[in-house]
């Protein structure tokens, strides 16, 4: 009986993994991004971006188009300000195709800057695309939410 339950559980897991579509895959990348952001894990967050990703961070003064530029941005942002939270709030997901998904909405980030707590509400857009066997961020834009 126990063996049958284990087999049933394994079958359910396999079926649920195969049911994950582009929407779920893209949201999984966004979840990984938020986790890496909160943990100030520069390596993990940079790995989520495609080598040819287009990037406009909140503090970007120019369009960033290289992995090195994205790394430099996050080294400054994550290792200096020590984020403590990153929450995607009200958002929408648009599945463009089986390989491209847009996730956009409002977010809230918070942490410590210059020894003081800060909170920054923003507008964020991720374009996540399937590249090879995995999903990567191919475009990112975040801007401060206007008052």
Task: Tell me if 3 is assigned to some domain.
Answer: no
Q: How many domains does the chain fold into?
A: 1
pLDDT beyond 80 at 3:
no
Q: Which domain holds residue 60?
A: 21-144
pLDDT-derived band at 18 (thresholds 50, 70, 90) equals: low
Of 42, 49, 47, 101, the residue nearest 74 (C-alpha):
42
How is residue 8 written in tokens?
Answer: 């049933």
Task: Tell me if 13 is assigned to some domain.
Answer: no
Task: Tell me if 68 is assigned to some domain.
Answer: yes
pTM confidence score: 0.83
The CATH number of the domain where 123 resides is what? 3.10.450.50
Task: Tell me if 2 is assigned to some domain.
Answer: no
pLDDT-derived band at 19 (thresholds 50, 70, 90) equals: low
Q: How far is CA 24 from CA 18, 27, 84, in A?
A: 11, 5, 25
């Amino acid at each position: 009986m126990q063996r049958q339950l284990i087999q049933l559980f394994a079958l359910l897991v396999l079926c649920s993994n195969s049911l994950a579509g582009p929407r779920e895959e893209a949201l999984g990348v966004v979840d990984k991004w938020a986790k890496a952001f909160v943990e100030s894990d520069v390596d993990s967050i940079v790995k989520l971006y495609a080598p040819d990703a287009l990037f406009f961070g909140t503090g970007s003064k120019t369009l960033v188009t290289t992995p090195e530029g994205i790394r430099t941005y996050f080294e400054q942002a994550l290792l200096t300000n020590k984020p403590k939270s990153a929450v995607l709030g009200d958002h929408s997901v648009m599945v463009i195709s089986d390989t491209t998904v847009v996730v956009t909405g409002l977010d809230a980030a918070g942490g410590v800057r210059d020894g003081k707590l800060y909170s920054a509400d923003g507008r964020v857009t991720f374009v996540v695309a399937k590249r090879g066997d995995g999903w990567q961020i191919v475009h990112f834009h975040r801007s401060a939410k206007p008052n």
